[in-house]
Amino acid sequence: MTGWSILFAPQRNTPFPHIHPPYGSYLPRMNWIKGSWAVLQKDLRLEMRSRYALNMLLMFVLSSLLLIAFAIGQESVGERMQSALLWIVILFSASIGLGRSFVAEEERGTVLLLQLNVPGSQVFTGKLVFNFLLLLAVDLVALVVFALLLNMVIENWALLVFSLVLGSVGLAGATTLLAAIIARASNKGPLLPVLLFPLLIPLLLSVVRASRAALSGGLGVSGALGDLQTIALFSGVVITAAVLLFDYVWHD
């Protein structure tokens, strides 16, 4: 198989079969979207039963927001501080709540079952979408409570929501791969924030500027365009790299 025909050939499930045993090739050729959807559905159903991750995330967001509100007190906070605090709360709750997605599989002893039934990239996509949905819930609660507690004046709702959603895509991409990494570590404790925060500084800088542009006194859409492009590019690169690297973490 040479040249352009490689683009149209049926896809192999593991990118480098000479390194890992080609688990993928024993699997039934499942539709890629169908496999990812199955993983997502499984996670959603488990989450609906216990609501553990969701409740933990929301409680973390609420309590840290209250802490910030009490610590600041009556003083008014500028729009730059508002968007910075909002994103720091979202980052910390992501690093605490989303790290469980693969650790939980190890604890339940379902890793092997998942490895045998679904190719790695589909597991990754399912988990990624699940984490993204959790992050959307975090964004929503954080935004509403923050706007009430700190008297945020939002000029451009669409821009703020768009930058929150776009930032959450990149955040979910980085967190999902790192969650798979820490599930492999022997002492999992507080490893995720240590690994995650250095990687997210470019995202944090541009996302804080984009959300700030949407608040009162901000620059509006024209001021945030470059930052939105950076966030979109960052999310694309991070998710691509994560999909490529995931198989090395997922298979032994």
What does the binding site for another protein look like in residue numbers (CB under 8 A)?
Answer: 16, 19, 174, 177-178, 181-182, 184-188, 191, 194-195, 197-203, 205-206, 209, 226, 230, 233-234, 237-238, 241-242, 245, 248-249, 252
Closer by beta carbon to another protein, 159 or else 195:
195
- Find the shortest distance in angstroms from Cβ 148 to another protein: 29
- Find the shortest distance in angstroms from Cβ 119 to another protein: 18
Closer by beta carbon to another protein, 58 or else 246:
246
Q: From residue 28, give the alpha-carbon distance in Å to each of 32, 170, 183, 240.
A: 11, 31, 26, 24
- Find the shortest distance in angstroms from Cβ 137 to another protein: 25
- Quote the CA–CA distance of 156 and 225 in Å, as a whole number: 14
Closer by beta carbon to another protein, 19 or else 153:
19
- Find the shortest distance in angstroms from Cβ 65 to another protein: 26
The residues, any chain, with a CB within 8 Å of residue 207's CB and separated by 6 or more, are 87, 163, 166, 167, 227, 231
Q: From residue 149, give the alpha-carbon distance in Å to each of 68, 69, 76, 116, 137.
A: 9, 6, 11, 48, 18
Beta-bridge partners for 154: 215
Closer by beta carbon to another protein, 145 or else 234:
234
The continuous run of DSSP H or E covering 218 comes out as: none
Closer by beta carbon to another protein, 55 or else 229:
229
- Find the shortest distance in angstroms from Cβ 133 to another protein: 23
- Quote the CA–CA distance of 191 and 96 in Å, as a whole number: 10
